[in-house]
Amino acid sequence: MSSRTYPLLPMFLETIMSRTPVRPYLILKDEAGVFRVTVRTTRYNSQGYPLVSSEQLEDGFVTQTAARKFVRETYKGEATDIATK
């Protein structure tokens, strides 16, 4: 047997996943210029990796401030729970 070592192929390398928590509320402007709120739920698999599911709400807002106010009043979200990127 040969004792040559071969480089690992990318498919065999361990995928590095981010374990940083995502903010539960995301506010983004759509192509029509309307701000939309996305509610994200994080759960963890047996290895501790986060699994994030998201649902975009039907409500649209003229300003980002109005969308933030909606999240704070409806979901009792704190300012640190709201992402804009």
What confidence tens digit (pLDDT) does each residue in 50-72 have? Answer: 899 999 999 999 999 999 999 99
Q: Which whole number is the average pLDDT over 7-36?
A: 75
- Structural fold of domain 17-83: Nuclear Transport Factor 2; Chain: A, (3.10.450)
Sort strands 82-83 and 50-61 into parallel, antiparallel or unpaired: unpaired
In the chain, domain spans: 17-83
Query: Can you tell me whether residue 40 is helix, strand or coil?
Result: strand
Top pLDDT among 52 and 7 is at: 52
Per-residue model confidence (pLDDT) at position 5 = 56
